[in-house]
Structure 1
């Protein structure tokens, strides 16, 4: 995962939105969906 599993807390969108300290900034974002292609082997397709 990017720079290794130890960096997951820094880069994971799921982890970032669950962090309560980010709530005020996240509430300003429009709805969006994250996609990744079939050539992306850093995460399983069903994740």
Structure 2
């Protein structure tokens, strides 16, 4: 087996994917919260 050396792997793509996932999650959460607030205001 090859020797594993911590910190040598290029993780650029994983970081981009994670950043995109977090952006999507935050935006989706904001949209859901706004929708819930609008529903609460409309239904009074």
Q: TM-score, normalised by structure 2?
A: 0.23
Rg larger for: 2
The answer to which structure has the higher helix fraction is 2
Higher RCO (CA 8 Å, separation ≥ 6 residues): 1
